[in-house]
Chains A and B, each alone.
Chain A
């Protein structure tokens, strides 16, 4: 009897939904290191993955975890790791390698209070900029911010699809509150789940040029052992994958790595607009704080204040165009997030007029309540 994903309706922990989503997405390799509040992902995976013939390996640290994930993906397995801020700080080293080698993989960051060891058991949303800029150099990244246990499942599948489609590391930037939330998760039939697999070479090994693209900026990927004899390096390289130490080669490569995400922004960016058609006040939020923001909208609407919510589902790439569009229609924008204003800064970058942009921030440890958002809007 073949083992199946858990099709049906469940009362499920967010972290477990993420792990089950990975399995449904075809993830067959997980390398990780225990860390609060992401450990439940590793635990669930370690129970479930071997039943599908997959492998859970607990590495000596997060540096090794990320390296092993990339190695396994080069061997053809869909691969993932999960961590929180302190571990993510170590993983950014090899996230850069995955960007440069163009190796698909998924990295989950269940954010907790930070910096440093911070608040291991309590919520935070302060790794937004680290997700974007954590590794050195210029690169683009895709990061999803699930706001429910259902999204922990759904967006993990989407993260794998995006990783495979564009040959990139994709980040799931969740938070402790969503990771440790328990609520209803509906898991569809296996055949109803749409999966994207990486493009494979359609030419013989003799004709294959590893980093030659065919128009869509993403080169087909040969995996180890198939006779294509790829050479992959973190050094700047040419289309053959060979080191090419020049400004010209670097410009060409890094530009393409940026372009393959930037030019597909329209396909990658996701958001949800609630009560925004006639909104005078726009709340921008994501993750667990988007749920408080939604409640704030409902409270304000009852009081005849026209508030709406723009919930970011992808944080990166950032939807500057959408923000700019709203900036022309609303009288103020409110950004609610558990950090000192990381997304608020991006909102300010997006708007061209002198629209007030108000922040509702906590630095971690506690959720922002709907009433705190409401009061901030009223007092302003």
Chain B
């Protein structure tokens, strides 16, 4: 039986979404969609117009965000969305340039770009969805994979230690650093809004389930089980030193919150001032 609706159902974020690209490629239970919608609601609530926004992604599951958002969007090479975004932002300083990509893209192959963008306090927002593995290629370990975790390339357990991403970003010079899970949509949205309103380098880690790639081999269960873990083990600790922001999958805590928020002249601010001085000095 065919059911026809009298009125066409519209997604509340349809203004921001390339609906002609639906359905998306993400697995059921994946948290990337929640991270994406939190971001889009943040834009909506701040009354930012789509033409003011550009999204740059790299390669991987989260890298596909760029293709689904109806703004100027660039799906670049693996690891390079941050330097691409730097070029774009310099050309279009009036735009909000957001790098939306995964942990493998941002922290492994693109790790060098991350620390240098943070060091420069460059005016972009990096939203890094961390699902602890390379999902797109079928669940291999990466620099965020917890110690002892099983993946398709750590069949005997991971014997490397992972990065603490907020600590890494903060140490490198990021002036706004937050971590939330996809369970914390309200707080995540508030942090994204805060980042959208400020200059300089903002880094937001979003912990996400990956039931297909990471959940299954590590017996975490379905996405809902991982969300339950977040609910049970997350502790909000705003303002703490990010080096103490614990992140455990072995019964320990997941420390979330806004850890860093400091004022420091941003790259674009200094650049504009510097160009004015140089141009002014040549009478």
User: A residues within 8 Å of B by Cβ?
Assistant: 1, 3, 29, 31, 50-51, 53, 55, 57, 59-61, 63-65, 67-77, 79, 93-94, 96-97, 101, 223-235, 240, 242-243
Contact = CB atoms under 8 A, between A and B. Distances in A.
Given A71-B56, A71-B74, A50 B274 contact: yes
Contact of A243 (B67, B80, B271, B282): B67
Contact of B83 (A1, A68, A242): A68
B86 interface: yes
Interface stretch (B87-95, B154-162, B184-192): B87-95
Q: SS class of chain B's interface: helix, strand, loop or mixed?
A: helix
B1 interface: no
Contacts of B278: 50-51
Contacts of B196: none
The 3 closest A-B pairs by CB, nearest first: A75-B91, A71-B87, A68-B87
B51 A55 contact: no
B87 A69 contact: yes
Contacts of B113: 60, 63-64
Contacts of B271: 55
B90 A55 contact: yes
B275 interface: yes
A29 B18 contact: no
Given A64-B80, A70-B87, A93-B77, A231 B18 contact: yes
A231 B66 contact: yes
B250 to A, nearest CB: 35
B218 interface: no
Contact of A225 (B90, B92, B282): B92
5 contacts: A68-B83, A77-B90, A232-B75, A242-B20, A242-B21
B219 interface: no
A75 B80 contact: no
Contacts of B75: 231-235, 243
A60 B51 contact: no
Contact of B87 (A63, A75, A234): A75
Given A71-B86, A231-B67, 7 more contacts: A70-B76, A74-B84, A76-B92, A223-B92, A224-B88, A225-B54, A231-B73
B72 interface: yes
Interface string B97-131: 00000000000000011001000000000000000
A63 B92 CA distance: 21
A64 B116 contact: yes
A67 B70 contact: no
B280 to A, nearest CB: 10
Nearest to B77: A97
B6 interface: no
Contacts of B282: 1, 3, 51
B77 A67 contact: yes
Nearest to B70: A229
A159 to B, nearest CB: 18
B29 interface: no
Contacts of A55: 90, 271, 275
A53 B279 contact: yes
Nearest to B80: A67
Contacts of B74: 71, 74, 101, 231-233
Contact of A228 (B67, B72, B81, B83): B72
Interface string B20-34: 110000000000000
A236 to B, nearest CB: 12
Contacts of B91: 29, 71-77, 223-224
Interface string B44-84: 00000011101010000000001100111111110111111
Given A1-B282, A231-B66, A242-B21, A29 B87 contact: yes
